[in-house]
Structure 1
Amino acid sequence: MATTRTPAPTAPATSSRGAGVALMSGSAVSNQTGAAIGSLAFDTITPAGVVAVRQWIAAVALLATTRPRLREFTAAQWRLVIALAGVFAVINLALYSAVDRIGLGLAVTLEFLGPLAVALAGSRRRIDLACALLAAAGVAVLMRPQPSADYLGMGLALLAAVCWACYILLNHALGRTLPGAQGTATACGLSGLLFVPIGIGVLLTHPPTWSALGFAVTAGVLSSAVPFLCDALALRRVPAPLFAIFMSLNPVLAATAGLLILGQHLDLWQWASIAAIVTANTTTVLTRR
């Protein structure tokens, strides 16, 4: 007796994809909004103080949700975790210090060169070469000599970019040896411990106001806890390339948050540079299998 195969329903898949897009959008908006709000506390507790609070909140959130089995880690795994902890400590301090000097939009755009460099590294495709040249042109315009150019701030943003590239490679290595996010959570916890003396020193020398503490805590929640949860749920619903494309929108969202929350205006050339770097990354992702 012949049987007919009933086609699989597509509504649940479509609904899941839509939920994933909503989660990714929420993650990106939350991340950049949190960074903008956190910068409102720079004048009171300095970027280092805001980073310390953010790291503590991120450590508590990740360790509570992941609960890594520390006693089961091998020496090789601990080396990767310690290296990632150092990256965590440097990347946020470098980025927030850059935001304080050159603004949120430009700092996040330059930081975004890290994952773009990882995506392009080792590629021999002509389209990737074109994307690299397009991104390089955008960077050249952003860093062109001007009387108001803050090269220290740009250098700090580029340091954050290097750290982001290292973060991707270390996370990839940890993901092959430790299940789930145990390595990332442990590294975040160690980074939070590193910032205990720094944070205490900053808070003692720069007495915080309630509003400054509120801004720093809000940054920790919106830029760490919320994105981690949203990204983890989104990656269960959407393919990695789509996730990478949504990550590409972070420089645009950062510039928008800087404009709306902090009043940081960018000129036409700066917006064009951001668009060039975002386009380069999006094209790289879309043209890969």
Structure 2
Amino acid sequence: MIKNRVITVQDTPITVAREDFDDYICITDMAAAKNGDSRAADIVKNWLRNRLTLEFLGTWEQIYNPDFKVVEFDHFKNEAGLHTFVLSVSEWIEKTNAKGMYVKRGRYGGTFAHKDIAFEFASAISSVFKLYLIKEFQRLKADENDRMKIEWDAKRFLTKNNYLIQTDAVKNYMIPNGNYHSDMQWLAYADEADILNVVLFGFTAKAWRDANPELAKKNNVRDFATISELTVLSNLETHNAQMIREGKEKKERFEILDEIAKYQLNILKEAERVKEQIEDMQENQ
């Protein structure tokens, strides 16, 4: 079991904990970098009552937490911005069943947030602090992987941990002809990888290779996917494996996966929109 680690960001020690195969960062430690330990809790509370913060948190939970209580979230979001609105992390967790943050009591406790959320909270400290935090966190992960003799691939690392980052990668390839959603004859002979390819990209791997013979010599279509597409692909693989165990037929699985892909891609686009709004507000402050 990996113990808590500590990284230092602009002379501020910050605890990084390992929970459920992912990293959570102590935002109480981060808040101390702005006004010291005495006001750290107030900084977290003020950040949490912001409407854009709640939209970001709610979007994150809807992507990764199937037990998230959306109705309670909507109530908080509607109240946000009012002078009387106050929300603690504990209340947020209790009322919405949120998983993105948790509170640890005791001498070495504090509020811990999933790294996606912690990076967003860092923006409330300063843009410079956020950059140094990301840099130190990446250094920590690289050091850990070096010790374990694991090759650290930056793109795969981002994908595995489902960062809410959407790149505008240029797809320098020809789009194959054909409508695989209306003409379903291909499905009877498709393997599982191609079912996911059609759901996500709209065509099979063979169709892509036929349309891009030169690129296909050294690449496949997934090498040109954006981070968002790879994130959704990872989730689709999990859903598909579960449906196979349940004995669902290909056509039913395809239809379900198609709906999941559309929903999750839309959520990621919305998350990016919220992120850009927050960044614009901070730049104008």
TM-score by length of 2: 0.29
Structure having the larger proportion of residues in strand: 2
Of structures 1 and 2, the one scoring higher in RCO (CA 8 A, sep 6+) is 1
TM-score by length of 1: 0.29
Structure having the larger proportion of residues in helix: 1
Q: Which has the larger radius of gyration?
A: 2
